Amino acid sequence: MDNILIILSGLIYTNKIMYNQAGKLSHYLKGNVSIKTLQVIEAKDVEENNTIIFMFPISSQTIPSCMLDYMKNNEKLMNHKTIYSVIYCDEYEVDYCDYADEILSLYCKNTHANYKGFLKVGAYFLINHIPYKWRVANTLKSFASDIRKEKESALDIMFFSKNQFIKQGNKFWEKAYRSKKE
């Protein structure tokens, strides 16, 4: 298996949740995997790895500006790399990730990289507050399996059914309301 680089491609404050997920993904990949953030990555980090996994949260359905800037300034480094993405959105529906996925796909085509697919994660801000962490782990395992086998991947996960999501949201707001009242 190739060397793999996971690039946390969000702003510093969003990297905490992604770093935990990157660590789990690294474990499931069972190979030579390194994790870097955009804030500390160097050209040699990309050059030494054949497979790149961009992990990033979206806002307004698009890639973060810091990642777009990195992509623009490092197009030559992506030549002939295999690229995957893990796209986090704060919305319940993962189809909010579609534009970001399309941008990354076109970027890979223009830089002669091989875009192999994605894992889209809905309502990512709830990852650390859900009783269904096993669902996240199982999906990360499936994604890691696709990467190890160098397969195309098109996975997504939403942690709750829509009714559960609404119920959890109502519990959160009721608790917040009570704490303000006291």
| Residue 129 confidence class, pLDDT cut points 50, 70, 90 | low
Whether the pLDDT of residue 131 is over 70: the answer is no
pLDDT at 130: 61
Q: Residue 173, exposed/middle/buried by CB under 10 A (0-12, 13-18, 19+)?
A: exposed
> 138 vs 124, which has greater pLDDT?
138
Supply the mean pLDDT for the chain. 84
Section 2-25 average pLDDT: 83
Structural domains counted in the chain: 1
* pLDDT tens digits, one per residue of 94-122: 778 888 899 999 999 999 999 999 998 88
Closest CA to 49 of 17, 89, 2: 2
Across the chain, how many H-helices and E-strands are there? Answer: 6, 6
* pLDDT tens digits, one per residue of 43-70: 999 999 999 999 998 877 778 888 888 9
- CB atoms under 10 Å from CB of 69, counted, come to 12
Whether the pLDDT of residue 182 is over 90: the answer is no
Residue range(s) defining the domain that contains residue 27: 4-181
CATH code: domain of residue 163: 3.40.50.360
